[in-house]
């Protein structure tokens, strides 16, 4: 699994941090960063990504396919 954060899109809601506090944190600008790629179970990390109101967390599977947000 690979995680990307679109830092331009992040609006500092921090719901990702609330759901996966060992994986995401806010930097000193209040923008999400990855703290530890393996901080939480993949299911929790996916839930955190789904909680982001602006879809700023992009998740890819090991084959490089985008899992979240779902492609239209
Ligand atoms: S939930 Fe989305 S907008 Fe909120 S801090 Fe995390 S990445 Fe940023």
pLDDT of 72 > 90? The answer is no
Instruction: State the CATH number of the domain containing residue 6.
Output: 3.30.70.20
How many Å separate Cα 25 from the centre of its chain?
A: 10
Query: C-alpha distances in angstroms, 14 versus 17, 18, 22, 46, 50?
Result: 5, 6, 13, 15, 12
Count: domains in the chain: 1
Tell me, in angstroms, the distance from the centre of ligand 1 to residue 69's CA: 13
Residue 9 CB less than 6 A away from ligand 1: no
Q: Which atom of ligand 1 is nearest to the CA of 9?
A: 3
Tell me, in angstroms, the distance from the centre of ligand 1 to residue 12's CA: 5
Residue 58 CB less than 6 A away from ligand 1: no
What is the tens place of the pLDDT at every residue in 1-53?
Answer: 999 999 999 999 999 999 999 999 999 999 999 999 999 999 999 999 999 99
| Residue range of the domain that includes 23 | 2-68
């Amino acid at each position: 699994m690979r995680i990307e954060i679109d830092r331009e899109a992040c609006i500092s809601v921090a719901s990702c941090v609330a759901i996966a506090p060992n994986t995401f944190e806010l930097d000193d600008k209040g923008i999400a960063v990855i703290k530890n790629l393996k901080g939480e179970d993949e299911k929790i990390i996916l839930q955190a990504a789904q909680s982001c109101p602006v879809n700023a967390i992009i998740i890819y599977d090991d084959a490089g396919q985008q899992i979240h947000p779902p492609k239209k």
